[in-house]
Amino acid sequence: MMNKYSFTLIVIFGLLTAVLLLAWDQAVEVADTLLTVTMWSLVALLVLLPLGMLTLGLWFLSNRFIDNRQKWAEASLLTAQARQADKQADNLIITANPGEQVYIASDQDINRRSITALHLQRSYRSNGNGDSPLLHESTAWALMQHLHSTVNAPRNITHNAPQLPAGNPPETAAVLPQHLDLLPLIDGQSPSLNRVIIGQTVDEAGQLETLTMPLTEMVHVGMVGSSGWGKSVGVQSLALQLALASETLEMVFIDLEGVTSAPFQRLNRLRYPIAETEKDAVAILNDLKGEMDRRMSLFSPHRVQKVSDYNALTDVTPLPFIAVFIDEATSILENNAAIHDLLAQSVIQLRKTGVFLFLAGQEMSSKSMRPMIRRQLSSRIAYHVGDHWQAQGLGIGKEAVYLNTKGRAWTIFPGRQKALVQTPFVDAAAIEGLLERAGRAGKTPSTAMPTRAEPEPTPREQTILQMWDDNASLNQISKEINGQRGGTYNNEIKEVLKKHGVSV
């Protein structure tokens, strides 16, 4: 292919050739001997040969550059088209006639292609004839490759499917309720710590199943969801069941907004009054840390390491479990370093000493919660979130974005696969009524707030705290206390403020 660069090189080569030929002609005219002509011929040859080779090389390279540039442009176009196709394929809806076998295949890498036999997962079929699938059903189709095990696929999938196993046809598969009331689920039953109702799900046989878990297997629970999608009601539902449980239990609420915990204000199982300030939250966590240390000292003489083994001994007074509910936990942890530090220091010992955490927030990310805390959340419940990063810290990402039913959540519990669950609803008036009838409500909290919210400040620390209360800046305080400001001097002031539960 001829281009402007090649043409220019050829013109230059031609001009140089003409000049050398003219010079050779002049040499012939003035030459007295054959030796002079031969000399000029050799000079012309030595000059023209390298120039010719250089011209050919440059011409070849310029054409290669143009070809590569065209290939790069084609590759960029194909990449853009692939990304667009991938984006359009996020939600996949497949319909099939009764009795047909359906597979989803991934062709992103032909050497690693996989398929999933969806006829074995009846809970993910569209329900009814001629009806459009619900959003959660179509989403589940698209997520099937991630939620269930797959098998290696042949390179060519034929239409000769094996006989379908006996079971419910798609029309009769159960569908999750749009609303689930907790009261009918616990009516006539004695709530127990061994059977905490999480909600209803659809099992692999396509039937509705009430999902329950023992408190000791749930361990610590992380709950995430945007405002208005059922997270706070889910917290209340779990707390109510623990409050009504027949087993001995103490409960703790840290709720700075005072809304989610309001129906439990008079609960006689409260270990402390409900904490509605950061100062009270620090006091409670400090006291709980002391209680855990006390329990560990009780375990040592008996050579046991956890509360269940200690309670199994015959010559001791059993220690009650303690359930700690922290609403809007991620906001509290992000804004108060003292609370974050206390929880991080205690989280490893919580389960051993019989303390179980329920942390609820609008997002669970590394920014708002340290990994050492998130790793201890064995049970995870994710309601609808506006962005996938809000739930990624719980190992549930885009799935939670697609949820569009209040109370609907993706769940992960020890020993169970990730499941879509409709969590139960209960209103505040019903909670208060049930607690009253069960004898769990008292006129006043049964215990008082711990008297020491933080370590007693020294005179120097009192000056720092007073200056901070007077709206002095870190630089001003550091200059007054240390005579210097900035850097390590300011960090020292921050440590004092953090020690006494002040958010900087």
One-letter amino acid identity for 381?
A: I
Given the DSSP bridges, would you call strands 249-254 and 321-326 parallel, antiparallel or unpaired? parallel
Q: Where are the alpha helices (DSSP H) in 148-277?
A: 182-186, 215-218, 231-244
DSSP 303: T
pLDDT of residue 216: 93
Q: Is 444 helix (H, G, I), strand (E, B) or coil?
A: coil
Report whether pLDDT(379) > 90: yes
Element (H, E) at 361: strand 355-361
pLDDT of res. 53:
77
Give the integer Cα–Cα distance in Å for 336 and 501: 7
Q: Mean pLDDT, the chain, as a whole number?
A: 78
Whole-number Cα distances in Å, 24 to 10, 36, 118, 349:
21, 10, 86, 99
List 90's β-bridge partners, or say none. none
Question: Is the model more confident about 239 or about 336?
Answer: 239
The more confidently predicted of residues 59 and 165 is 59
DSSP-derived secondary structure for 258-293: -STTGGGTTBTTBSSPPB-SHHHHHHHHHHHHHHHH
For residue 324 the two structure tokens come to 């700690």
Q: Which of 334, 388, 392 is nearest to 364 (CA)?
A: 392
The Cα 355–Cα 215 span in angstroms is 10
3-state DSSP of 151-168: EECCCCCCCCCCCCCCCC
> Which amino acid is it at 12?
I
Residues 236-249 have a mean pLDDT of 94
Q: How far is CA 334 from CA 78, 193, 283, 503, in A?
A: 44, 31, 18, 9
Cβ–Cβ < 8 Å for 431, 260: no
* CB-count exposure of residue 444 (10 Å: 0-12, 13-18, 19+): exposed
Rounded Cα distance, 166 and 487, in Å: 72
Range in 104-108, 384-388, 463-467 the model is least confident about: 104-108
Contacts of 210 (CB under 8 A, 6+ apart): 185, 197, 199, 200
Question: Residue 443 CB: number of other CB atoms within 10 A?
Answer: 6
| Separation between Cα atoms, residue 210 and residue 161, nearest integer Å | 34
Cβ contact 409:381 at 8 Å? yes
Higher-pLDDT residue of 154 and 259 is 259
Where does the pLDDT of residue 24 fall: very low under 50, low under 70, confident under 90, or very high at 90 and above?
low
Residue recorded with tokens 């005579």:
483
> Which tens digit of pLDDT belongs to each residue from 45-79?
676 677 777 777 777 777 676 666 777 777 777 77
- Give me the mean pLDDT over the 142-148 stretch: 53
Question: Hey, what's the torsion of the CAs at 273, 276, 280, 284, to 10 degrees?
Answer: 60
Is the per-residue pLDDT at 413 higher than 50? yes
Phi and psi dihedrals of 343, rounded to 5? -70, -40
pLDDT for residue 447: 62
pLDDT at 487: 81
Report the SS3 class of residue 87.
helix
Looking at per-residue pLDDT, the higher value among 461 and 442 belongs to 461
Spatial distance between the Cα atoms of 338 and 454, rounded to a whole number of angstroms? 10
Count Cα atoms within 13 angstroms, Cβ side, for 353. 21
Structure tokens at 377: 């959340």
Q: Based on the number of CB atoms within 10 Å of its own CB, is 180 exposed (0-12), middle (13-18) or buried (19 or more)?
A: buried
Give the pLDDT mean for 338-358.
87
First to last CA, the chain: 69
Which one of 13-22, 26-35, 380-389 scores highest in mean pLDDT? Answer: 380-389
What distances in angstroms separate CA 425 from CA 52, 177, 181, 389, one per listed residue?
Answer: 87, 12, 5, 26
> 483 or 312: whose pLDDT is higher?
312
Rounded to an integer, what distance in angstroms lies between the CA atom of residue 390 and that of residue 266?
Answer: 33
The CATH H-level (homologous superfamily) assignment of domain 182-437 is P-loop containing nucleotide triphosphate hydrolases (3.40.50.300)
Provide the pLDDT for residue 217: 93
DSSP letter, residue 451: S
| C-alpha span between 200 and 311 (Å, rounded) | 33
> How high is the pLDDT of residue 366?
73
| Alpha-carbon span 484 to 492, nearest angstrom | 11
- Confidence at residue 158, expressed as pLDDT on a 0 to 100 scale: 46
Which amino acid belongs to residue 65? Answer: F
pLDDT of 299 strictly over 60: yes
At residue 95, does pLDDT exceed 90? no
Residue 150 confidence (pLDDT): 44
* pLDDT for 30 beyond 70: no
For the record, the structure tokens of 444 come out as 């006043």
**What would the pLDDT profile of 419-440 be if each residue is shown by its tens digit?**
999 999 999 999 999 999 888 8
Beta carbons of 37 and 28 less than 8 angstroms apart:
yes
Of 62-71, 214-223, 413-422, the range with the lowest mean pLDDT is 62-71
Other CB atoms within 10 A of residue 185 CB: 19
Q: What's the rounded Cα separation, in Å, for the pair 443 and 441?
A: 7
CA dist., res. 252 & res. 370, Å (int): 22
Question: Distance between CA atoms of 357 and 372, rounded to whole angstroms?
Answer: 14
Name residues whose C-beta falls within 8 Å of residue 306's C-beta, 6 or more positions apart in sequence: 299, 351, 352, 353, 354
Query: Does residue 136 carry a pLDDT above 80?
Result: no
* Sequence-distant (≥ 6) Cβ neighbours of residue 110 within 8 angstroms: 155
User: Rounded to the nearest 5°, which phi and psi values hold at 192?
Assistant: -140, 150
- CA geometry: angle 477, 478, 484, nearest 5 deg: 145
Q: Is the pLDDT of residue 162 over 70?
A: no
